[in-house]
Structure 1
Amino acid sequence: MMPQLPETEPEPTKLASKPASRGRVIWRRLEHTPRFWIGATVLALFVLWALFGQFLTPWSPTDQDVNNMNYPPTILHWFGTDILGHDLYAQIVSGLQKSLIIGFIAGPAATIIAAVLGATAGYLGGWGDKVIAWLIDLMLVLPAFFILVLLYPFTHGSWVVMMIFLAVTGWMIMAQVIRNQTRSLREREFVKGARYMGFGTWSVVRRHIIPNVASLLIIDATLGIAAMILAETSLSFFGFGVQPPDVSLGTLLANGQSAATTRPWLFLFPAGTLIVLLLAISLVGDALRDAIDPTSGVNRA
């Protein structure tokens, strides 16, 4: 009899690995992007500072220390005091709070307006597209900064109204981009299928168009935060934004510019806060852009 060979177990069938989702791919790219972590860490520290920084000092933004007016940084006043004895640290924290609120609300709000109008125009075509395109072109021609200056009397000095105006005047460029992207997406099979199945315009835009341009919207919303903070600071610097007794980084810069050489702490601390904040947001936005669309530029990570 022939010796019986031991039975060999059949090799298990190797299952094909499940392809990673787009979100996971983007996150993997971000994990290996140092500037993302630097920007996100600094931005998180600024948010924590704005939330809890006021508890680190006994002074409020409106308190006056008449015995220490125009004093440089000391243990009592970490960032010094101004000509009226206000604690500069407390005022910067208060101004940072307003800047972050305006940036984190007005920036994404402008992106939402751009997404809705741009996607609707690109999907509708015809007269609907022409009307919205005309509105976009009109808003692009008009200088947004001077429009905000002209509308300032109607804000009644309210920074909340100014925040709304910033959102309403900051959506046009992205709307044009979304409109062009949508005009190519509406010829895709899944959009045509949804249309033939009887879905309405807004349903198609919300379910099929906007999710496919979400990458662009995320980048725009992130960079829009920095743009809105800079816009608010510029308006407040020239006296068309936040008004006393409220303070913002723009008003602090305006008050400290004349003393930049004689009492430099009045200008350097607000300016340094603004520059580092905008740089951190820009690093996060730049890293997101390269992670979402690696062909947008040379990946420096």
Structure 2
Amino acid sequence: MTQGQYDETTADEPNEAAEEKRHADYKRTGRMTLYVRRFFRRPSAVLGLVLLVLLVFFAVFGNKFTHWTYQDLDFAALGVPPNSDHLLGTTSGGSDMYAMVVRGLGRSMSIGFLSSILETIIAAIIGTSIAFFGGWFEKVGMWCLDMLMVIPSFLLIAMLVRSSSGTAGWLWLTFGLTVFGWIGYARTLRTLALSLRELDYVRASKFMGVGSFRIIVRHLVPNLGSVLIINTVLGVVGSVGSETSLSFLGLGIKAPDTSLGTLLNEGQSVAITAPWVLLAPSLVLIALTFSVQLIGDGIRDAIDPNSRSVGKAE
């Protein structure tokens, strides 16, 4: 090696080292990390998340701040307004409203979240299966969905819950909401999955002999992840609304158990004489639906590449 070649080689070494350092410092931003950053850039979404966390904390640990339970009756305080002993007052029967709201919120949230998750899972599997197999299976599947859409689900759920007994009524109500709640989702997901079944990697999986169920679970359903997440979150609002409506009409949760709908049903008859009985569960229900709605909007904007909340991925 000549002196000139040596000088040229040693001169390039710092530049190569600097280039390697720049590549080492560069870190690829993962998709989930990007979604989280976009979500937390939206103040309303953060507000909704904080509010939901507070409601969950209230539903789980709220009973620690009172010595009353939702089943206790104070016959010395019938229909009294909020005071030091009964933080949110009592009902005309002597039940502590604070303990009743804690129990009702927890029960309504359990029904809403559980039924929404189960509905999404069932809809994802059935909807993508109908699109994946196509042909006569798709025709029969769509015909079944159309037939299920005309079933009077509200009436059947009410009959199912009324035939139950004790505190197991909320499980039957969750079951009823799940059985009839996935049908509309499945139709939507089937439409979205029609384009996915024609992708090259799906065709390659079929050619390689991969099982149909494995393709559906590992390839089709994950590619609908953004839609599934949004439907699950917003589905909580629909499930809570359905539970509240049924319980308000006396067709849902029954005593000795309680829910927000049951409390609203009890409060509407004494709205003038004891407004706190209606006001407390109403405010909690509004806060719950409002927080979930804000979170759903935040997730949708975080996933949507055309959303105004995208900004810079920093």
Assess same fold via TM > 0.5. Answer: yes
- Partner SS, residue 235 of structure 1: helix
The correspondence for 2:189, drawn from 154, 168, 178, is: 178
Q: Where has structure 1 moved over 4 Å in runs of 4 or more?
A: 4-7, 297-301
Distance 2:258 2:161 in 1: 17
- Show structure 2 runs of 5+ residues with no match: none
The correspondence for 2:77, drawn from 49, 68, 81, is: 68
Q: Kindly provide the CA deviation profile for residues 129-181 of structure 1, in whole angstroms up to 9, marking residues without a partner as x.
A: 12221222222233432332343444446221111111111112221121111
Match of 1:11? 15
Match of 1:55? 64
Match of 1:228? 239
- Partner SS, residue 92 of structure 2: coil
- Matched AA of 2:223: N
- Matched AA of 1:215: S
RMSD after superposition: 2.2
Q: 1:248 to 1:26 in 2, by over 3 A?
A: same
What is the number of residues matched between the two proteins?
299
Q: 1:153 to 1:263 in 2, by over 3 A?
A: closer
Distance 2:78 2:124 in 1: 50
Displacement of 1:53:
0.5
Q: 1:193 to 1:300 in 2, by over 3 A?
A: closer
Distance 1:154 1:61 in 2: 23
- Partner SS, residue 60 of structure 1: coil
The correspondence for 2:251, drawn from 240, 246, 271, is: 240
- Matched AA of 1:146: L
Distance 2:187 2:50 in 1: 32
Match of 1:106? 115
Q: Kindly provide the CA deviation profile for residues 209-254 of structure 1, in whole angstroms up to 9, marking residues without a partner as x.
A: 0110011111111111121111111111111111111111111100
TM-score, reference length from structure 1: 0.93
Displacement of 1:268:
0.5
- Partner SS, residue 210 of structure 2: coil
Q: Kindly provide the CA deviation profile for residues 262-294 of structure 1, in whole angstroms up to 9, marking residues without a partner as x.
A: 211010001111011110011101111111124
Q: Kindly provide the CA deviation profile for residues 68-96 of structure 1, in whole angstroms up to 9, marking residues without a partner as x.
A: 11100011111000111110000111111
- Matched AA of 2:264: L
- Show structure 1 runs of 5+ residues with no match: none
The correspondence for 1:25, drawn from 10, 24, 34, is: 34
Q: Is the 2:59–2:105 Cα contact (8 Å) retained in structure 1?
A: yes
- Partner SS, residue 214 of structure 2: helix
Moved more, 111-120 or 18-27: 18-27
Moved more, 225-234 or 136-145: 136-145
Q: 1:18 to 1:128 in 2, by over 3 A?
A: farther
Q: 1:68 to 1:154 in 2, by over 3 A?
A: closer
Match of 2:91? 82
The correspondence for 2:180, drawn from 158, 169, 186, is: 169
- Between the aligned residues of both structures, percent identity stands at 39
Match of 1:271? 282
Distance 2:96 2:159 in 1: 33
Distance 1:66 1:150 in 2: 34
Displacement of 1:5:
7.8
Displacement of 1:298:
5.9
Moved more, 214-223 or 157-166: 157-166
| Aligned 1:134-153 pairs, distance under 5 A | 134-153=143-162
The correspondence for 1:39, drawn from 33, 48, 59, is: 48
Match of 2:271? 260
Q: 1:64 to 1:300 in 2, by over 3 A?
A: farther
Q: Kindly provide the CA deviation profile for residues 109-140 of structure 1, in whole angstroms up to 9, marking residues without a partner as x.
A: 00001001001001010121122212222222
Q: 1:203 to 1:74 in 2, by over 3 A?
A: same
